[in-house]
Structure 1
């Protein structure tokens, strides 16, 4: 297993698209970095306004104006469970609020853009604006590395793709290493690229953070179940490949 600080340095910026992404894909890494004394900044692009809500008592929030604020509170609780990293909403420095683009499932099982994405959608925003907003945060934080999705956005969500595009450009501009999340739900290995393995001694913190995202998922033993019924194991190892 690669040593966390040797791989990422002691100031790590994670660029994510929606609440829960930070925990499902990188929660163990965040908790482990904080335990080792690193400074961590999680940047979230949207509030998941158009996401589905799991069946049960919270389902009535789906599609309502109350959902974004609820997911803000869930994210705050999840970050606290991970050890309290810094957090910023993309665009907050200039009072820009990016909105969840929504998605549909394509025939290959990957997400594709929704036909009815709102005009404020993150995926429809000019790339230079998204890059500019992320650059403001990165310049102020002074990271040693940036973490985001792979070029396909993991499972393909257009907001993931947009955040990865911006993260790559900011990392290149600042001369920083960029690490891509190897998403176990869709990516079985690194191919010929280098692969970093991060062991989860912080699994309890990750599980507590996942439980905080109660509109997004349900824990069931060693698995988690998403709002659409998709079942996946809680990753005990979080994998990354260096992209730049």
Structure 2
């Protein structure tokens, strides 16, 4: 168990499904809080063994060949966390405890479980067992803030949905004094957020891409049309962290995930067109706890720790 007396006064825990999800969703926020001396802990639920490989010379690592992609992505995650400055990152239950479940695309455009799912897949995990493994982390780290996915996992990936369920249940169990006393004193997380992408922000970015002549990035998305469910109406957003000063660290973290993300892919195109400051703004939905001070212009918080005293242990 960590020496909590030496722990930073404000601590953030993020629960993600695969390596790269954290850098895509909250990479700039993570880097910002590390730079400010706040505690940042990442828990990744699988090693992403079923991911698509975008580097031709590494295609032999695929699940249907050497099945060593998870080991490789573990190294990519290490490099990404080094870029962000995060020193506390773990796999739920230890590396290899749960396997990437894979996915396929539904005709409606969102992800669903694949036809064949490995017996050790996270999607098949014993729910209480997985949540208890996270309870152990929560009681050790004692975060005031938890960030995970929404109930749909952003775009429907079964591992994202499972990570959401496990994180939300673990937060409840960790706060119950009678539950697994052997895992340490109960800890109640003050604020829980779901990662989000503002609809107005993505429309702004898409519009700039299209005006620049780019019709292939986020192909099929119309700046003025219907957007996929991963984008949230602004009325649902409750916090936007401006970490524009740390966007280069986020981009370096994305580059580290080279089997999954290409430098000529959509995230880099979006960054190039809307600018670093805009790309470094990351949005969230508060689903548990009291909101803190907000920006009068947007009505959104600007800090996940807003309203939390640093000495709150």
TM-score of the aligned structures, taking structure 2 as reference length: 0.68
Residue 180, structure 1, aligned to residue 224, structure 2: no
Which secondary structure does the structure 2 equivalent of 1:37 belong to?
coil
Q: Provide the aligned length of Structure 1 versus Structure 2.
A: 227
> d(CA) in 1 for partners of 2:233 and 2:286?
10
Which secondary structure does the structure 1 equivalent of 2:241 belong to?
strand
Structure 1 gaps of 5+ residues are 1-8, 226-231
Deviation at 1:191, TM superposition (A): 5.4
Q: Deviations over 1:120-156 (max 9, x none)?
A: 0001112111111111111111111110011100111
Equivalent residue runs for 1:44-63 within 5 Å: 44-63=44-63
Higher RCO (C-alpha 8 Å, min separation 6): 1
Deviation at 1:207, TM superposition (A): 0.4
Q: 1:114 to 1:203 in 2, by over 3 A?
A: same
Deviation at 1:59, TM superposition (A): 2.6
> d(CA) in 2 for partners of 1:88 and 1:233?
29
Residue 203, structure 1, aligned to residue 205, structure 2: no
The answer to whether the 8 A contact 2:17-2:160 is kept is: yes
Which of residues 264, 273, 277 in structure 2 aligns to 1:220?
264
Partner of 1:133: 133
Q: Deviations over 1:103-130 (max 9, x none)?
A: 0001111100011111100011121111
The answer to whether the 8 A contact 2:46-2:96 is kept is: no
Flag the structure with larger Rg.
2
Equivalent residue runs for 1:13-162 within 5 Å: 13-63=13-63, 64-92=66-94, 97-162=97-162
The answer to whether the 8 A contact 1:34-1:85 is kept is: no
Report the RMSD for the aligned CA atoms in angstroms: 2.0
TM-score of the aligned structures, taking structure 1 as reference length: 0.86
The answer to whether the 8 A contact 1:39-1:85 is kept is: no
Structure 2 gaps of 5+ residues are 1-8, 176-187, 199-227, 272-278, 289-313
The answer to whether the 8 A contact 1:53-1:215 is kept is: yes
Deviation at 1:67, TM superposition (A): 1.2
